[in-house]
Amino acid sequence: MRFLNATLPDGSRHDIEVEGGRISALLPVSTSAHDGVDLGGMLVLPPLVDGHIHLDKTLLGLPWIPNQSAGNTVSDRIEAERRVRAARTVPEFETGSNLVRQVVASGTLHMRTHVDVDNQLGLRNLHEVLKIREHFRDLVTIEIVAFPQSGILRSPGTAELLDEAIAQGADLVGGLDPVGIDGDLDAHLDAIFAIASRRGVGVDIHLHDGGDAGLTQILEIARRTEATGLQGKVAVSHAFALGSVSTDSVTRAADTLARAGIAIMSHGPGGATIPPLKLLREHGVEVFGGSDNIRDAWSPFGNGDMLERAMLIGYRANFRHDEELALAFDMVTAAAARVLGLSDYGFKVGGPVDFVTVEATTLAEAVATRKRRSLVVKSGRIVAKDGALQTPLPR
Ligand SMILES: [Zn+2]
């Protein structure tokens, strides 16, 4: 089987030969007639990777629900979400499945989702997302972070629930603003690092706290990461603080983060400071991208399109040159794949027959124009065409 007439990111044109479920060769474009799927010179990209999504929060597919947050703090939004959740009648399996279908149509085949765990919800949302993961297992890989959205100390019993979430199938333990939400850096980090150490899993902490207070927390996360031997398995999501302290401070922090193997996730925030992505990358820190909230009680925006997310990250970071846009693209593909520990990822000879095609001549153009994906191919099968899922697929 062949896919004909592909443009690769280096500008070369090839036919893609497939054998035994793998890409077996990249051949010169055939001049004679050949059976196969004609890609028409479209740019071929590796599958997109969403390093931070919330499948249990989205309201996608429901009638519009206005944002109900009374203020602009994380605590205000936690309260607003409780009200929205109390009123919803459609299970998270349905809305989360709507989101999975939408993101697959835009070329995302791997994701890390955070799932709310607290002493009101218990593990209900985890069970919904585990059902989603099972339902779509042939289409997407879904890594699950057990996320203490209501805090750990503020929501007694949550530490035990996080531990049980790992036992029941979550892959990482999450955290949330140890100082801003729980008011106790050590107690919050004691709880999650104890679970991570005991269960042998990674950590991904939401950290909105800004300025020097936020930086102190990031440095303590780095210290504990090294102390517990979790280098390469810890991420800090948002890390707004890295964008709101002095260049000297963030440069020193970058070296510390690189040594501790801590990755930084940014979604290109609209209302907060963004970490200095290029500086971090230059100092050896893994930076990766994610959607974060999509049409939920936190944000009315988002669509799960990771090319659009790369554009938003680039826009927010004031990227202009092609190599800068290539960094934004890397954040939603290879870098996110490394953070998720995907062992079988990438468009290459010997690799899986997973790819996305888009009308563009370079990666930078793909990010800037973020045109609809002409094809999404998973395991050699066309699963979406021109932004629409193909049937039959999991519902
Ligand atoms: Zn989040």
My answer on whether omega of the bond before 392 falls inside 30° of 0, hence cis, is yes
SS (H, E, C) the chain: CEEEEEECCCCCEEEEEEECCEEEEEECCCCCCCCCEECCCCEEECCEEEEEECCCCCCCCCCCCCCCCCCCCHHHHHHHHHHHHHHCCCCHHHHHHHHHHHHHHCCEEEEEEEEECECCCECHHHHHHHHHHHHCCCCCEEEEEEECCCCCCCCCCHHHHHHHHHHCCCCEEEEECCCCCCCCHHHHHHHHHHHHHHHCCEEEEEECCCHHHHHHHHHHHHHHHHHCCCCCCEEEEECHHHHCCCHHHHHHHHHHHHHHCEEEEECCCCCCCCCCHHHHHHCCCCEEECCECCCCCCCCCCCCCHHHHHHHHHHHCCCCCHHHHHHHHHHCCHHHHHHCCCCCCCCCCCCECCEEEECCCCHHHHHHHCCCCCEEEECCEEEEECCEECCCCCC
Distance 6 CA to ligand 1 centre (A): 36
Residue 79 has pLDDT above 50, yes or no: yes
Flag whether 394 is in a domain.
Answer: no
Residue 290 CA, ligand 1 centroid: distance in Å: 9
First-to-last CA distance in the chain? 27
Q: Do 19 and 114 belong together in one domain?
A: no
195-253 per-position pLDDT tens digit:
999 999 999 999 999 999 999 999 999 999 999 999 999 999 999 999 999 999 999 99
Residues 256 and 377 in one domain: no
pLDDT tens-digit map of 23-33: 999 999 987 76
Judge whether 355 lies within some domain: yes
pLDDT band at 34 (very low <50, low <70, confident <90, very high): confident
Domain membership flag for residue 231: yes
Q: What's the CA-to-centroid distance between 300 and ligand 1, angstroms?
A: 14
Residue 354 in contact with residue 379, Cβ under 8 Å?
yes
Ligand 1 center–CA 216 separation, angstroms: 21
> Which residues lie below 8 Å from residue 304, measured CB to CB, with a gap of 6+?
50, 53, 99, 102, 103, 106, 108, 291, 294
| 32 and 57 fall within a common domain | no
Band of residue 391 on the pLDDT scale cut at 50, 70, 90: confident
Structural domain includes residue 182: yes
Determine the distance separating the centroid of ligand 1 and the alpha carbon of 229, expressed in angstroms.
Answer: 25
For residue 266, report the distance from its CA to the centre of ligand 1, in Å: 10
pLDDT recorded at residue 394: 52
CA of 293 relative to ligand 1 center, distance in Å: 6
In a shared domain, residues 233 and 320:
yes
Is the predicted pLDDT of residue 73 greater than 80, yes or no?
yes
pLDDT of residue 35: 86
Residue 255 lies in a domain: yes
Centroid of ligand 1 to alpha carbon of 292 (angstroms): 5
- Residues 19 and 7 both lie in one domain: yes
Picking from 49, 112, 55, 61, the residue whose alpha carbon sits closest to that of residue 89 is 61
| Separation of alpha carbons 163 and 196, rounded Å | 9
Residues 35 and 142 both lie in one domain: no
Both 32 and 91 in one domain: the answer is: no
306-303-87 Cα angle (round to 5): 140
CA distance 289 to 309: 8
Ligand 1 centroid – CA 114 distance (Å): 7
The Å distance, Cα 219 to ligand 1 centre, comes to: 20
Give the Å distance between the CA of 306 and the centre of ligand 1: 15
Distance between Cα 265 and ligand 1 center (Å): 10
**Spacing, Cα 52 to ligand 1 middle (Å):** 6
Q: Using the predicted structure, report yes or no on whether residue 395 has a pLDDT greater than 50.
A: no
Domain that holds residue 352: 2-46+345-389
**Could you read off the pLDDT of 57-72 as tens digits, one per residue?**
999 999 999 999 999 8
Clarify whether residues 253 and 134 are in a common domain: yes
Distance 321 CA to ligand 1 centre (A): 29
Rounded distance from Cα 206 to ligand 1 centre (Å): 6
Same domain, 54 and 78: yes
Beta-strand relationship, 234-238 and 262-266: parallel
Checking if the pLDDT of 172 tops 90, the result is yes
Q: Are 156 and 127 in contact (CB under 8 A)?
A: no
Domain end: 300, 316, 339, which one? 339
Which residue type sits at 114? Answer: H
Q: Is the pLDDT of residue 1 over 90?
A: no
d(CA 224, CA 373): 42
Question: Do residues 78 and 29 share a domain?
Answer: no
Cα torsion angle, 265, 268, 271, 274, sign: positive
Phi, psi of 37 (to 5 degrees): -90, 120
CA of 395 relative to ligand 1 center, distance in Å? 26
263: in domain: yes
Cβ-based burial of 79 (10 A; exposed 0-12, middle 13-18, buried ≥19): middle
**Distance from the CA of 301 to the center of ligand 1, in angstroms?**
13
**Ligand 1 centroid, distance to 385 Cα (angstroms):** 29
Confidence band, pLDDT 50/70/90 cuts, at residue 393: low
Cα–ligand 1 centroid distance for 289 (angstroms): 11
385 belongs to a structural domain: yes
Domain containing residue 70: CATH number: 3.20.20.140
395 domain residue, yes or no: no
Q: What is the pLDDT of residues 298-348, one digit of tens each?
A: 999 999 999 999 999 999 999 999 999 999 999 999 999 999 999 999 999
Task: Specify the pTM.
Answer: 0.97
Cα 188 from chain centre: 24
How many domains does the chain divide into? 2
Mean pLDDT of the residues in the chain: 96
The last residue of one of the domains, among 339, 358, 376, is 339
Query: Does 107 share its domain with 25?
Result: no
**Spacing, Cα 204 to ligand 1 middle (Å):** 10
Q: Is there a single domain that holds both residue 42 and residue 54?
A: no
CATH number for position 25: 2.30.40.10
